[in-house]
Amino acid sequence: MNYDYVDHGGKRLFVIEVPQSGTEVSFGGKAYGRTGAQTAPKLVVPAKPLTEPGIEKLRKALADDRKACTEARAKLLDHYESVLRILDDLRHLLYPKGASVPTDNAEGKMLLRILFASCADTFETFMSALLYEIYLAKPETLKSDAPVKVKDVLERTDMDEFITWYAKEKLKKLQRGSVKGFIAENPTIKTLNAFDDTRIGEIEKILQIRHLFTHQNGTVDDKFRHYFPATNVNDEYPMTLDEFLKSFEYLADSAEAVDDKARNAFNLSLFS
């Protein structure tokens, strides 16, 4: 790409010259091409239906969600659809005895934990990306009573990099499993009223399972028992496909709720 300022017709313009690509260009999982002066998505072959009914139901719901969402949520949906396809393809490892029975395959347990953790991680990434979109659309929302060190500002090369860093900093409470703390410290999200006490509690439980799978290899500890008192310390926490999909759907619905409210409140762009 070439870019520079030029004088044209008495006006100062910033011009970007983009040469034709020799390879296929894709964005957000879609391939694009040029027709005359227009850029348009190429025809996409419809996705193959999945065999497990519960998984296919969620896949269709995610496809409908794409009709009105931000770029942040579109990326989350891309990841979630990939997870659903892995779940559908690896029945023999992940739920060989049915959706309501935990697998006894060691590799299947490990992979299920990794997939579950990735869904929770991607939800956090979505929240960070959504904050980034809000800050870009409405820079005044960056105003906060929380102090920011001059060093932190000067270490960023431009405003976009600072906003990206600032949005990630705001996620530290969420990454520790404290959804309530994250919302309390982010008035931009709090004012949307997308998270009531019930939703906060359920997401915190999901994040605690993610933490257990990531840091404890699925072995119950005292902190986990605080959220799940029916479990026993040092026992392995079993995960069925049914529980996985229930948590998966809850995170997807929560992302939809906050995404819709943020788009309307801050006039965020639709991802096409």
pLDDT at 145 over 60: no
pLDDT at 150: 82
Question: Over 70: is that where the pLDDT of 91 sits?
Answer: yes
Name the band, by pLDDT with cuts 50, 70 and 90, for residue 144.
low
SS (HEC) of the chain: CEEEEEEECCEEEEEEECCCCCCCEEECCEEEEEECCEEEECCCCCCCCCCCHHHHHHHHHHHHHCCCCCHHHHHHHHHHHHHHHHHHHCHHHHCCCCCCCCCCCHHHHHHHHHHHHHHHHHHHHHHHHHHHHHHHHCHHHHCCCCCCCHHHHHCCCCHHHHHHHHHHHCCHHHHCCCHHHHHHCCHHHHCCCCCCHHHHHHHHHHHHHHHHHHHCCCECCHHHHHHCCCCCCCCECCCCHHHHHHHHHHHHHHHHHHHHHHHHHHCCCCCC
Q: Which of 11-20, 108-117, 133-142, 236-245 has the lowest mean pLDDT?
A: 133-142
| Class of residue 37 by CB neighbours under 10 A (exposed 0-12, middle 13-18, buried 19+) | exposed
Tokens of 30: 């879609």
pLDDT average, residue stretch 111-122: 95
Torsion angles phi and psi, residue 7, rounded to 5: -95, 125
How far is Cα of residue 159 from the mean position of the Cα atoms in its chain?
Answer: 23
Question: Per-residue confidence at 99, pLDDT binned at 50, 70, 90?
Answer: very high
Output the pLDDT for position 74. Answer: 92
Which tens digit of pLDDT belongs to each residue from 15-42?
888 888 777 777 656 778 777 777 777 7
Question: Tell me, what's the pLDDT at 174?
Answer: 63
- What pLDDT is recorded for position 189? 86
For residue 31 the two structure tokens come to: 């391939």
Q: Encoding tokens for residue 269?
A: 């762009």
pLDDT of residue 66: 83
The closest alpha carbon to 141, from 151, 133, 149, belongs to 133
The pLDDT of residue 208 is above 80:
yes
Beta-bridge partners for 2: 17
The pLDDT tens digits of the residues spanning 67-82 come to 889 999 999 999 999 9
Tell me the average pLDDT of the chain.
87
- 260/72 Cα distance (integer angstroms): 12
Instruction: Point out the least confidently predicted range of 64-78, 180-194, 255-269.
Output: 180-194
**Lowest mean per-residue pLDDT among 62-76, 81-95, 127-141:** 127-141
Q: Which of 203, 199, 188, 180 is nearest to 262 (CA)?
A: 188
* Neighbour count for residue 41 (Cβ, 10 Å): 13
Higher-pLDDT residue of 20, 100: 100
φ, ψ (nearest 5 deg) of residue 39:
-105, 125
Separation of alpha carbons 44 and 59, rounded Å: 17
User: Average pLDDT of 135-142?
Assistant: 80
> Is pLDDT above 60 for 46?
no
